[in-house]
Amino acid sequence: MFLIEPMFAVPAAHAQMPDCEALNAELRELFLAKQAEGDRYRNPDPFTHRNEALFESNFRLFDWPQECVQALRRFCLSNLYRTIGELNGYDTAMRRRRHIATEAWFHVTRKGG
């Protein structure tokens, strides 16, 4: 007998933020400014070698106080909680009891990065 079973199904969700052009521009400006500051915001321990054309930030992006970062955080987490709720049939009270730990970062990739 030969049987193939999907044992590790991973659902995927897609959410798109409407009218995000202004937020994207703010984030881009902020990320380029932080990248220009150098090591203070760089990932101190990358998993793989990074050349100078690729800047990877530390993984604490969602802890930053800038409103553009917090708007992105709210969007990501609200859609994550929504997805968890819909997949599991959780009501609002149950979703509010969930705790999600996050790591978030950004890359600035230039030619050759």
pLDDT (0 to 100) of residue 47: 81
Q: What is the pTM of this model?
A: 0.85
**Cβ contact 85:94 at 8 Å:** yes
pLDDT (0 to 100) of residue 58: 95
pLDDT (0 to 100) of residue 29: 98
CB atoms under 10 Å from CB of 64, counted, come to 17
CA proximity to 110, closest of 31, 41, 42, 51 = 51
pLDDT (0 to 100) of residue 52: 84
Secondary structure of 1-64 as H, E, C letters = CCCCCCCCCCCCCCCCCCCCHHHHHHHHHHHHHHHHHCCCCECCCCCCCCCCCEEEECCEHHHC
Beta bridge partners of 104: 60
pLDDT range class, residue 8, cuts 50, 70, 90: confident
pLDDT higher than 80, residue 16: yes
pLDDT higher than 80, residue 1: no
pLDDT higher than 90, residue 20: yes
pLDDT higher than 80, residue 6: no
